[in-house]
């Protein structure tokens, strides 16, 4: 078998989309399984829309997912002379011709044709122009495009998911291969690159199926070997609409910045449209995915992106992850969100964050959830949930209970959860109260919330100084609210 060579060829016009990441993953997995090569090519010939920022976002996303490439990145914008050389070959063979029609003229003719109920395809107005006519048009300042001549007949190719696919050539029009500014079009540059880079398998989204007959005709015109094609299904939202922000962000960068683990997203993307043959098994290592991967097991039905399932899978990876690793992710999130500056971070910060993670990792689906839903770990001033403050801290006698909690906890040197629990339960016993009557106000006082991790473990992680300070501020807020008659939230 010839060397398997796959490629991922994104256009740098935005972030790395989940669909693009899955395409890259399937190409990467096949190359790794077959001991082949995975090539990265940046298709940046759309000068108006391509940006360096988008290139970096794509490269960063691939690196974060662990999709390492063996060759590249190649940039099409640096290969223009190659495309011009091959376009000239087609022109010299009479397989391509100059077209001087303006966009306005094309649109006018298209509208007239459509008004007659006939589907528009380029009418070959410029196919038989003689040299004198061409020179006259050039003197008018018209810059021609180069169109590929579609021969009569039928074009077929074999799709590894769908079998033989047939297109009648009369359904295709003479498409542009070189624009008037000298830039190649997608279909043309793609074929030249795939042939010169010896790509053996073209694995891409099924929205490219309509491009494939045009590309096959170009392969045949150049007498290039035709690669094997596999058009994988789109990723849809639960509502069966194309994946967009309303389904959860489609950007790989978003999930990285939210504290999803790369191995979890890799695992989840691999399972979209690919069946391992072990239907009860959901969690796969990278090595297992490579070992089991096969295009024959990729379904042609659209995949459905399920954020709940991704969250479940990520929570599994979080529970299995090393706390120091999770701490490094949390640190990046806190810096990015302005909770702390990089130069302010000390070993004691990291030691504290590791304790937070150890306490909370069983409860979170992604690391940023710590900052979003348990911000009390990362601020000095507690922001009270208004309802929690009203229902718990504004009850009669709560300020006195907190005052006693402050006195009791202040005397404890060994500020560990079992010691704290024993002290609070003894306090409840002496007062003739249920422990919950102390635990609930104490939780709201130190966290601002009615729910959270075990109270005594929470107190231990926060530490004695922070806990006492928060109890004092909660008591002060209760007194101020009582005297002013306003709500104590915020």
In Å, what is the CA distance from 358 to each residue of 232, 329, 355? 40, 14, 5
**Cα angle value 417/421/427 (rounded, 5°):** 150
Residue with token string 């990278």: 286
Residue 273 is classified by DSSP as S
Separation CA 116–CA 230 (nearest Å): 37
Which secondary-structure segment (H or E) carries 71?
Answer: strand 71-75
What value, to the nearest 5°, has the Cα angle with vertex 221 and ends 218 and 227?
A: 55
Q: Which residues pair with 165 in a beta bridge?
A: 157
Q: What is the DSSP string of 358-393?
A: HHHTTT-SSTHHHHHH-GGGS-SS----HHHIIIII
Positive or negative, the CA dihedral 24, 25, 29, 35 is: positive
Task: Confirm if 146 and 96 have CB atoms less than 8 A apart.
Answer: yes
Active site annotation includes 245 = yes
SS percent in the chain: helix, strand, coil, step 5 = 55, 10, 35
Query: Helix or strand or coil: residue 320?
Result: helix
Reduced to 3 states (helix: H, G, I; strand: E, B; else coil), residue 330 is: helix
Task: Tell me if 209 sits within 8 A of 203, measured CB to CB.
Answer: no
Reference 97, options 140, 150, 141, 46; nearest CA is 150
* Helical (H) or strand (E) element with 203: strand 201-205
Among residues 112, 238, 245, 281, which one is catalytic? 245
Q: Which of 383, 365, 378 is nearest to 333 (CA)?
A: 378
Place of tokens 């018209």: 142
- Between helices 455-462 and 347-360, what is the axis angle to 10°? 170
CA dihedral (457, 462, 465, 466) in degrees, to 10, reads -130
Q: Are 335 and 259 in contact (CB under 8 A)?
A: no
For residue 184, what is the DSSP state? B
What is the distance, to the nearest Å, from the Cα of residue 188 to the centroid of all Cα atoms in its chain?
29
Tell which residue, 271, 290, 299, 292, has the closest CA to residue 36.
Answer: 290
Catalytic residues: 245
């Amino acid at each position: 078998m010839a060397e398997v060579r796959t490629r991922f060829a994104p256009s740098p016009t935005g972030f790395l989309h989940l669909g693009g990441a899955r395409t890259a993953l399937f190409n990467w997995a096949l190359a790794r399984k077959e001991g082949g090569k995975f090539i990265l090519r940046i298709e940046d010939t759309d000068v108006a829309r391509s940006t360096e920022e988008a290139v970096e976002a794509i490269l960063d996303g691939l690196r974060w997912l662990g999709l390492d490439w063996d060759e590249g990145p190649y940039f099409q914008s640096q290969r223009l002379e190659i495309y011009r050389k091959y376009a000239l070959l087609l022109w010299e063979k009479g397989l391509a011709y100059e077209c001087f029609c303006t966009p306005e003229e094309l649109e006018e003719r298209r509208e007239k044709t459509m008004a007659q109920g006939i589907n528009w395809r380029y009418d070959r107005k410029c196919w038989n122009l003689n040299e004198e006519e061409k020179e006259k048009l050039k003197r008018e300042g018209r810059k021609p495009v180069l169109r590929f001549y579609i021969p009569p007949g039928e074009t077929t190719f074999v799709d590894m998911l769908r079998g033989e696919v047939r297109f009648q050539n009369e359904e295709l029009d003479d498409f542009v291969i070189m624009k008037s500014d000298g830039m190649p079009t997608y279909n043309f540059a793609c074929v030249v690159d795939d042939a010169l880079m010896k790509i053996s398998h073209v694995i891409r989204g099924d929205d490219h199926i309509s491009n494939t007959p045009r590309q096959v005709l170009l392969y045949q015109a150049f007498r290039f070997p035709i690669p094997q094609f596999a058009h994988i299904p789109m990723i849809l939202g639960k509502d069966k609409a194309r994946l967009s922000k309303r389904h959860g962000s489609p950007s790989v960068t978003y999930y990285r910045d939210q504290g999803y683990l790369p191995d979890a997203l890799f695992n989840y993307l691999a399972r979209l449209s690919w069946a391992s043959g072990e239907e009860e098994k959901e969690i796969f290592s990278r090595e297992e995915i490579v070992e089991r991967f096969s295009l024959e097991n990729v379904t042609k039905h659209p995949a459905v992106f399920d954020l709940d399932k991704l969250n479940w899978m990520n929570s599994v990876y979080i529970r299995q992850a090393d706390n120091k690793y999770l701490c490094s992710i949390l640190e990046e999130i806190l810096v990015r969100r302005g909770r702390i500056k990089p130069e302010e971070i000390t070993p004691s910060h990291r030691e504290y964050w590791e304790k937070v993670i150890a306490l909370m990792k069983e409860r979170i689906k992604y690391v940023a959830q710590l900052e979003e839903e348990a911000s009390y770990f990362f601020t000095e001033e507690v922001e009270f949930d208004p309802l929690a403050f009203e229902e718990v801290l504004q009850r009669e006698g709560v300020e006195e209970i907190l005052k006693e909690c402050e006195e009791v906890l202040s005397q404890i040197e060994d500020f560990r959860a079992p010691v704290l629990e024993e002290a609070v339960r003894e306090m409840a016993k002496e007062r003739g109260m249920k422990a919950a009557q102390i635990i609930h106000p104490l939780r709201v006082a130190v966290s601002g919330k009615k729910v959270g991790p075990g109270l005594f473990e929470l107190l231990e992680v926060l530490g004695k100084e922070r806990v006492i300070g928060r109890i004092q501020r909660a008591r002060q807020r209760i007194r101020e609210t009582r005297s002013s008659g306003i709500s104590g939230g915020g």
